[in-house]
Structure 1
Amino acid sequence: MVSASASKEDPLEDQWMVKGPPRNAKWWYSTFHIVTAMVGAGVLSLPYAMAYLGWGPGTMVMVLSWCITLNQMWQMIQLHECVPGVRFDRYYDLAQHAFGPKLGPWIVLPQQLIVQVGCNIVYMVTGGKCLKKFMEITCTNCTRLRQSYWICIFGSTHFLLSQLPNFNSVSGVSLAAAIMSLSYSAIAWVGCLSKGRIENVSYGYKKTSGADYMFRVFNALGQISFAYAGHAVVLEIQATVPSTPEKPSKVPMWKGAVWAYFVNAICYFPVALIGYWAFGQDVADNVLVGLERPSWLIAAANLMVVIHVIGSYQVFAMPVFDLLEKTMVKKFNFPPGILLRILVRSIYVAFTLFVGVTFPFFGDLLGFFGGFGFAPTSYFLPSIIWLVIKKPRRFSISWFINWVCIYVGAFIMLASTIGGFRNIIADSSSYEFYS
């Protein structure tokens, strides 16, 4: 099997863009990579999304999103080796095969970069906020630092971790992150359950103007779509799994994906439903913020979030690093090596850190990025590619399901992008930058 993007003239002989990535990953590697990529900051905002959608619509959107994105992941896994003897190691490699070498990257690459860079920015904010919360709980007499400082402290760890070369090298970090995501999700819903419903809890829709409420509902759709953002890196993950004609990579990869979605379900649904049950319409955009007792457990949960988003940042950043380094060598004749890695990756980490410090609107960022980038890559772009490559019979089950996914995904993309952008503007008017 060869990589679709392999090139003998490429000087980066030590990089996976020539020979392909190291293909020695086990099926469970894909499980915790997908869990790390998907079960992240978004799970803590699901009760907040439920507060605007309500019990019925909120639960329906959660279930529908889980089913649609699982189907989309299955299709991507099948398409990874849809051409005999060729492996599409990147999302845009598959897009080039589907739409042509010129049009393909323009359709997929901007959306994929929005997902990956957007996740990294949001994880900077999440990591800093949770680190701040952890220190405030564990050290009540310590001098209180600005949130911006905590985001910078969190971001500083990535200047070192970003020097790890590829997906396999961050497998240990990713495994720890996956365990942390399962743990803090359990703490979140168990904490809400033990706390019980707050006094005078209300499950009615939030009281606001009609226009504002509509935009907040749109933003809630984006927050839910953000929670299913792992598809942007699924082909890169599958590229590390060995494959032969007798044992194609799609078999172990699908096994890993099913287990990842099982973990996804036991994280997402209890947090969303029990968190909303406990706080109703007064739930915060990060459900852990509303939990104060027992303090040691809440502190531990916040520290687990910090560890998790450290791993998640690296999982989403690795394909970006690969693309940037490839561009620097091919377009600007920059010599490959350690200097290139240090320069490119440090600048990227600094950029995401700067944007995260400047725009720390957690819930609104989830909604905006969820609609603008994550909805296409997770909800309907795989369906479009499937229709182009596989050409299912008109009005067949496969044809019908994919068109439903396209229409639902397109609506979520438009609605949540508008809602998230509007809410960022509205909330920024009352925010003191770098406070």
Structure 2
Amino acid sequence: MGTQAPSHYKSPDIEARLQKQKEIDNWLPITSSRNAKWWYSAFHNVTAMVGAGVLSLPYAMSNLGWGPGVVILVLSWIITLYTLWQMVEMHEMVPGKRFDRYHELGQYAFGEKLGLWIVVPQQLIVEVGVNIVYMVTGGKSLQKVHDVICQHKSHCAKMKLTYFIMIFSSVHFVLSHLPNFNSIAGVSLAAAVMSLSYSTIAWAASLGKGVKPEVSYASRHHSDVGKMFGFFNALGDVAFAYAGHNVVLEIQATIPSSPEKPSKGPMWKGVIVAYIVVALCYFPVALIGYYIFGNSVEDNILISLQKPGWLIIAANLFVVVHVIGSYQIYAMPVFDMLETVLVKKLKFKPTWYLRFITRNVYVAFTMFIAITFPFFGGLLGFFGGFAFAPTTYFLPCIMWLAIYKPRKFSLSWWTNWTCIVLGILLMVLAPIGGLRTIIINAKDYHFYS
């Protein structure tokens, strides 16, 4: 009879594999740093959530009208807070394990392969989509600053939007090499402060203008078809405004955790603070912007505010700083996915030059797409419905039902199914409106103009 090895014994082979795995995890952006405080969660979530989408909310209101507009804004705030709470709870529901990435939770809920196929394409569409839209937003805001300064100068040459997008992207060729979430905390904090600042400027400057004498709250479209598609597109704009769920598990992964002090405590504290800031940004901008300009409001409210010049310049510069931070927050999980595939699947060595090439190629790709298709409003509606609705409104609910299996017809069961039905409606209707807006804008558009 041979003696058995003790059950806790690990062969040198397994030890070496585990050590290599640990080294890779310590190199990857999401798992390399776990010393974040609760306030990191607050400003990362504000930066992720309060994006340029807030500036299109008065325009969305002009397509929805007062009644449906207010209901949809408030409902979205409540539903997305609820689904965000679910994700924070699910991060560590298996003792001793953390779901550091959205797709890892998906794999636990739906199975290894299926979970990957359900979550990764949608998450990538959201994150890459946001990065492209933010390239456009950053470029347009820089162009607006240039145009306002040039109004009073005779020798100012007009510059193409293409060049402004390239100027904006140049910052990201540098910032993208910050290794992980905690290293972009400073950028994220600046971005969060800026989002509150430009939102306040947007509604306060509108209020200062006073209601226009010829203001009208009738639909901005004359035909029933136009009204219907405008309504659908506005749904996408609202969905786009609540997009932080795509990075919430990755943000929570940076917070230290122990059985006595799980990460969900500080994470949830940060989320509550972030959602109060979201409400302070979204509701005044949407309601006051629509109240002042009515159906003549532009798809970016800062464009409707023509003067005072210095205030418009300040607000647009704040937008630029904010979308710089937001771009980085959404790019980090993409870098993590790309680097994981390269190192774990394709067996590349985790080196600085692998990271340098990968991240520069990604920034160049988002810049190129942004230069090619800079239709801001239509892009928001299309991406908002197509990908944000699942990952924000109903995918967390489906996972919750799959994992926790609440009793049929209980409050939890009804709540989740209601969110799922509303989310699916949003996913089907919003891209239709967004696509139509893109097609209409594309008619008069000359590439790289």
User: What is the TM-score of this pair, normalised by structure 2?
Assistant: 0.93
In structure 2, list runs of 5 or more residues that go unmatched.
1-16
Q: Which residue of 2 aligns with 1:84?
A: 95
CA distance in 2, matches of 1:152, 1:254: 37
Matched, 1:126 2:137: yes
- 1:349 is aligned, of 339, 343, 363, to 363
Give the superposition deviation at 1:7. 6.0
Count matched residues: 430
Q: State the match for 1:117 in structure 2.
A: 128
Determine whether 1:74 maps to 2:85. Answer: yes
Deviation, 1:48, is 0.3
Change (3 A) 1:12 1:430: farther
1:52 matched to 2:63? The reply is yes
Residue from 197, 208, 218 that aligns with 1:204: 218
What pairs with 1:289-328 in structure 2 (closer than 5 Å)?
289-328=303-342
Matched, 1:39 2:50: yes
1:65 aligned partner? 76
Secondary structure at 1:42 match in 2: helix
Q: 1:330: how far off? A: 2.8
Per-residue CA distance 1:374-400 (angstroms, 9 max, x = gap): 111110000000001111111111111
Once the two structures are superposed, the pairs formed by residues 362-373 of structure 1 within 5 Å of their partners are: 362-373=376-387
TM alignment of 1:352-431, pairs within 5 A: 352-431=366-445
- Show the counterpart of 2:265: 251
Contact 2:30 2:100 in 1 (8 A): no
Is the Cα contact below 8 Å between 2:29 and 2:179 reproduced in 1?
Answer: no
Aligned AA for 1:153? I
Corresponding residue for 2:209? 195
Task: Give the whole-Å Cα distance in 2 for the aligned partners of 1:99 and 1:18.
Answer: 25
Check whether the contact 1:40–1:227 (CA below 8 A) recurs between aligned residues.
yes
- Give me the whole-angstrom Cα distance separating, in 2, the residues matched to 1:360 and 1:15: 38
Counterpart CA distance in 2 for 1:312 and 1:24 is 21
Shift of 1:114: 0.8
1:417 offset after TM fit, Å?
1.3
Which of 217, 233, 236 aligns to 2:250? It is: 236
User: What is the alpha-carbon distance in structure 2 between the residues aligned to residue 288 and residue 195 of structure 1?
Assistant: 13
1:423 CA drift (Å):
1.8
1:267 aligns with 2:298: no
> Which residue among 7, 21, 34 is the counterpart of 1:23?
34
Compute the displacement of 1:8 (Å).
4.6
Q: Deviation above 3 Å: which 4+ runs of structure 1?
A: 6-19
Distance 1:313 1:370 in 2: 16
Separation of aligned partners in 2, 1:384 and 1:103: 14
Q: How far apart in 2 are the matches of 1:429 and 1:414?
A: 24
- Tell me by how many angstroms 1:18 deviates: 10
CA offsets, 1:233-288, max 9 Å, x none? 00000001111111111111001000000000000000000000111000000000
Q: TM-score, normalised by structure 1?
A: 0.96
- Which moved further from structure 2: 137-146 or 382-391? 137-146
**Pair 1:12–1:354, CA change in 2 (3 A):** farther
What is the CA-CA distance between 1:426 and the residue it aligns to?
2.1
Q: In 1, are the aligned partners of 2:29 and 2:336 still within 8 Å (CA)? A: no
- Distance, in Å, in 1 between the alignment partners of 2:374 and 2:158 is 18
Question: 1:240 and 1:230 mapped to 2: Cα distance?
Answer: 16
Residue of structure 2 in register with 1:101 after alignment: 112
Gaps of 5+ in 1: 1-5
Q: Structure 2: how far apart are the matches of 1:42 and 1:151?
A: 18
- Structure 1 contact 16–22 (Cα < 8 Å) conserved: no
CA–CA separation in structure 1 for the residues paired with 2:296 and 2:352: 50
CA distance in 2 between partners of 1:16 and 1:65 (Å):
37
Letter in 2 for 1:68: I
Closer, same or farther: CA 360–248 of 1 in aligned 2, 3 Å: same
Q: CA deviation at 1:331?
A: 3.1
Distance 2:276 2:232 in 1: 27
Contact 2:385–2:426 (CA<8 Å) still a contact in 1?
yes
**Quick check: 2:221–2:230 contact (8 Å CA) kept in 1?**
no
What RMSD, in angstroms, separates the aligned Cα atoms of the two structures?
1.5
Secondary structure at the counterpart of residue 415 of structure 1: helix
**Structure-1 separation of matches of 2:27 and 2:129:** 24
Tell me which structure has the larger Cα radius of gyration: 2
> Which piece of structure 1 moves more, 193-202 or 265-274?
193-202
Does the residue aligned with 2:428 lie in a helix, a strand or coil? helix
Measured in 2, the distance between the counterparts of 1:81 and 1:357 equals 41
Instruction: Tell me: CA distance 1:12–1:348, structure 2 relative to 1, closer, same or farther (3 Å).
Output: farther
Alpha-carbon displacement from aligned partner over 1:310-343 (angstroms, at most 9, x marks no partner): 0000000000001111112233332221111111
Of 58-67 and 423-432, more deviation after overlay is shown by: 423-432
Identical aligned residues as a percent: 62
Q: What amino acid sits opposite 2:83 in the alignment?
A: Q
The aligned amino acid for 2:99 is F
Q: For residues 336 and 41 of structure 2, what CA distance do their matches in structure 1 show?
A: 19
- Counterpart secondary structure, 1:102: helix
Instruction: Quote the offset at 1:120 in angstroms.
Output: 0.1
Q: Would the aligned equivalents of 1:127 and 1:305 in 2 still touch at CA under 8 Å?
A: yes
Letter in 1 for 2:219: Y
265-274 or 11-20, which deviates more = 11-20
Report which stretch shifted further, 13-22 or 75-84.
13-22
Q: CA deviation at 1:39?
A: 0.2
Provide closer, same or farther for how the CA distance between residues 16 and 382 of structure 1 changes in structure 2, counting only shifts above 3 A. farther
- Kindly state the Cα deviation for residue 358 of structure 1 after the two structures are TM-superposed: 0.7
CA distance in 2, matches of 1:319, 1:184: 26
> For residue 115 of structure 1, what is the amino acid of its counterpart?
V
Distance 1:412 1:261 in 2: 21
The partner residue of 1:221 within 235, 241, 244 is 235
Equivalent-residue separation in structure 1 for 2:29 and 2:189 (angstroms): 27
Deviation at 1:197, TM superposition (A): 1.5
Shift of 1:16: 4.9
Q: 1:231 and 1:14, CA in 2 relative to 1: closer, same or farther beyond 3 A? A: closer
In 1, Cα distance between equivalents of 2:61 and 2:427: 18
